[in-house]
Each structure stands twice: as C-alpha cells, then as structure tokens.
Structure 1
Amino acid sequence: MFDNLSDMTVLEKIYAFTALIGGIAFAIRLVMQFVGAFGDVGDLDLDPGDGGFEVHDADTDMSFKLLSIQGLTAFFLMFGLVGLALLRASHVSEGWSLVGAVIAGLGMVWLLSQMFKQAKKLQSSGTINPQRAVGEQGTVYLSIAAGETGKVQIRVQGRLRIMNAVAENHEQIATGEQVRVVRVLPGSILVVDKTN
C-alpha cells in the first residue's frame, strides 16, 4: 500500500499517520484496559503557584465514554484507514474521502460505545441482599439465647452464609435446630423462627 512515501499526497500522508498512531494507541489502550492497567485514579495534586487544584481518591469510572482516549484512538484509526482506502482504492475526490473518513470514524466510536455498554451489563456487584433470605430455611450455627443474638447458617442467593440472627418469640434456640427466616432487621440481622 505504501509503495513510495514521496508519491503520497499530503492528505494521504495525514490519513496514513492518523491510522498508524490511532491503531497503535488503540491496541495498547485496549490491551491495558483488559489486563486492568486502567482502574481507579486517585490522589492527583497539582500546585501551579498561587492557584491550586486537588483531586483526592477520584473513584472514576474509566470504562468507555464517547469522548475518551479509547474513543479518540478508535476514531483516528478508522478515519485514517477509510480515508486512505477511499483515496487510493476507490479513487474518490479528497472531499468525499474526508466525509467518508469522518463518518467511518464516528461510526467506529458509536460501535465501540455500544460494545462497552453491552459488556458493562455483564458486570455484577456480588453483593448479597439479606432481604432475599426471608422465607429460607437454615440451621442454627451458634445458639440463640433468649433475647440475644446468635448465628445461623443459611443459603442466600446460592451462597451458604453464616449470619447474625435473633429469635422471633425471644426464645432460646439451640445449635443444630432448623429455623426459617421471618424478616430482616437493620444491620442485616435475621429474625428466625423454629420450623418444627
């Protein structure tokens, strides 16, 4: 494609340069994002004399945004490749190649944003919701004294958990007895009742 660099027009060189820089930066950024090199950003302190600028623990979401480094590199990659292809292979005018290159770059940014949006839907917090324990049965792990807190072993959201519990009727429930969760108190304390 690049038989002789001196035979290229200025616009072809611009397309080739943006495709090369955009492609390299896009590949590096994508690999680093997948291996976790771009995560939380924190503790940025800049002091340019009298004025000041501080950001502490900036818990930013470095996932894809339309105007991001990932978006810009994707734009430049497609802008350069499509623009060069339109000029050299399709032999369209420079104006139409510029229009096609911009449309292709914007299309790539949109496509990439949709891909990241769909990938973000696969994310799960992994947090257990204690309210889902209501109605479930479990076993007393550490005896519940009358009016006191003990522990129960119960399956919540597919996970076997040991959680704090109190008896519904303020009675004593011995270790090993089967219980059912009636409700959940603040602080994720389960209110349980004997099942037998």
Structure 2
Amino acid sequence: MSSQSEENSAALVMQVGDSEPEVHDGVSPDDVMGMIARADEGMARRLKAAEERVRAIRAEVVGDPDMTVEYFLLQRAQSRVGELLSHDLEHLDPEEHRARVDQYHRYAEVGSALLYKDRDFKGGSKFFTVTWPNFKWWPYKFNDAASSAKAWGGNILFQHTWYGGRRLYLVGLPYVEFADLGRFDFNDMASSFVSLP
C-alpha cells in the first residue's frame, strides 16, 4: 500500500477550451479540487463524488474477496465499450483519434481517456471508458505502460492498483492532451484509472 504523503501527491493537467493546458505539479487533491472548481463547478462536483466513490471502494471492496469479484464483474461488463472502441481506434492514425472520439461523444457517453504506450501519442493505445482498478486485468492489460494521453472531461490516473499512490488528473473542458507523462514522473507508471461521470 502507498504511504499517506504519496496519496496526497498529485499533478494536474487542465485545458479549458482552446487555451494552452495548465500544468500544476506537486499539488494536493484538495488543491486540484479548488483549481477545477474555479474553472467549472459541475466538474468539481463530479470530482468530489468520484473521490468519495474511490474512498468507499478502498474501504469496502478491497480486502473482501466477494465484493472484489462483484466489483470486477460490474466494471468488466461496462468495459466492453472500451474494448470495442480501442479496436476501432487501432486502425486509425493518432492524428485521427480525437475526431473519432469526438464523434463517439456526439452519440453516446463512452468514456474519456485514450492512453498511449509511447510519448507523442505513438505506440499502441487503449481507450478507457470506465473506472478500472487494475491495469493488469483484461481487457486493458496496460499496467505501467502509459506515456502520453488524450482525455475528455475529468480523469484520474493512479500510480498503484486500486486507486492508490500518486495521482495525475487529466481534465479537459472539453478536451486535453499531453504528449509526455514523464513531465510529471508518471511515464510507464499508471496502474488504475477513474473516469468522472
């Protein structure tokens, strides 16, 4: 398990509209909440709800084998969308990914983060559509592999499985991309993910 100081260490990449992304490193989750609230109150409310959901999962699900299986089955059922869309995106050039995901968003709520194996949106990618506790698990199988990201809405990458360790918030209002997660010492480090509803 991670230390308390590690749990309180975060970085934020936030982009509002077509402005340049704001980058904040070494901030606390509370600091992040305040910065997001100044930009978008609705996103801040969703972030607070997501943080409460993560606390409940870690308190009630982790450590209870029956609840762990039930949680996995629920998330796995929802992850089918991510699996299908990842297959669709793998046949497109990375430059085409944003337009294609924007098209998905016009028709349905389909999740919000596209993680790439290499910097500058190169290498294989996975489209995450659901909060996911362990990147080692199928269908994602993407543990410690993300080096760059494109994201829609609010997303949190965690250093450890089950939403532990350092956090990297990727918040796009409506979209943000970051070509090198190593900028935050987060290259090949993400092991779980929260998507804000």
TM class, shorter-chain normalised? under 0.3
Structure with a larger share of its residues in strand? 2
What TM-score, normalized to structure 2? Answer: 0.22
Q: Which has the higher contact order (CA 8 A, sep 6+)?
A: 2
Q: Which structure has the larger Rg over C-alpha atoms?
A: 1
What TM-score, normalized to structure 1? Answer: 0.22
